[in-house]
Amino acid sequence: MISLFRRTLPPEPAHIEVRIGTTTYPVAVRRLASARRYTLRVRTAQRDIVLSMPARGSLATAKAFADKHAGWIALKLAKLAQDVTFMPGALVPFRDVPHRIEHRAEGRGTVKQEAGSPPVLAVHGDIKHLPRRLTDWLKKQALKELQAAVTRHTQALGVKHGPVSVKDTASRWGSCSSTGALAFSWRLILAPPFVLDYLAAHEVSHLKEMNHSPRFWRLCRQLCPRTEEAKAWLKAHGAGLHRYG
């Protein structure tokens, strides 16, 4: 006998959850008739992340896609939720120590550290230039420390390196080109010094091993004994560095 009633399926969840360590990130799910693939986008007004999928797509496939891009999701949500603008009164970590930003009208565009509780980053000059001047100063400090760390590690390995530069990259903390040029995120100056040192050691190790083989990791740990600690710190806190400035 044919049943006269159709089985009612449970409603599809409006969100899926992505986990990194102990943190769970919600991602809204939307089925679209026009979608031909799985995509992620930021909704600024709603301050969330949306995964769009084909109308007949699989929720399991959507979950796998979100998990694959968990780092990107964590980064975007961290920036949306807690952006910190460089302005007087804001707190910004410098070498992982919270510093309060203060404006000084006198002077000619310099940035100076001052003692205090918390310590102060005093930005001198016209206040309208404060965000740019502080950013430029932090980039300069990052480059200085990274150049010193790279020099120390290349001397230890007996290798030479190309130009060292700092950028504002969202997807990676450092890179090593085939010509030996090394580039890093300037935001490493916001992290603990051992994290910056690890990234320098990581990229210098690529000058000998352009891979992530066991030999590469042995070199990296030889240069930076706190490699595992630094990797764990970046996994837990790295996305949060992108909310400053």
More confident residue, 111 or 245: 111
Parts of the chain belonging to CATH 3.30.2010.10: 131-243
Q: Are the beta carbons of 43 and 95 closer than 8 angstroms? A: no
Q: What is the pLDDT of residues 69-107, one digit of tens each?
A: 988 888 887 777 667 889 999 999 999 999 999 999 887
Q: Where are the alpha helices (DSSP H) in 7-129?
A: 59-68, 70-82
CA distance 189 to 135: 11
Percent of the chain scored above 70 by pLDDT?
93
DSSP state of 22: T
Q: Which residue has the tokens 């390196």?
A: 161
Written as six digits, the tokens of 77 are 């949500």
Written as six digits, the tokens of 194 are 């051992």
In terms of residues, how long is the chain? Answer: 245
pLDDT band at residue 150 using 50, 70 and 90 as cut-offs: very high
Cis peptide before 118 (omega within 30 of 0): yes
pLDDT at 23: 80
Average pLDDT, integer, range 219-227: 97
Q: Return the CATH class of domain 131-243.
A: alpha beta
Mean pLDDT (the chain, rounded): 90
Nearest-CA neighbor of 45 among 16, 74, 80, 72? Answer: 80
49-52 contacts, C-beta under 8 A, 24 or more apart: 49/25, 49/73, 49/76, 49/77, 51/16, 51/27
* pTM (2 d.p.): 0.71
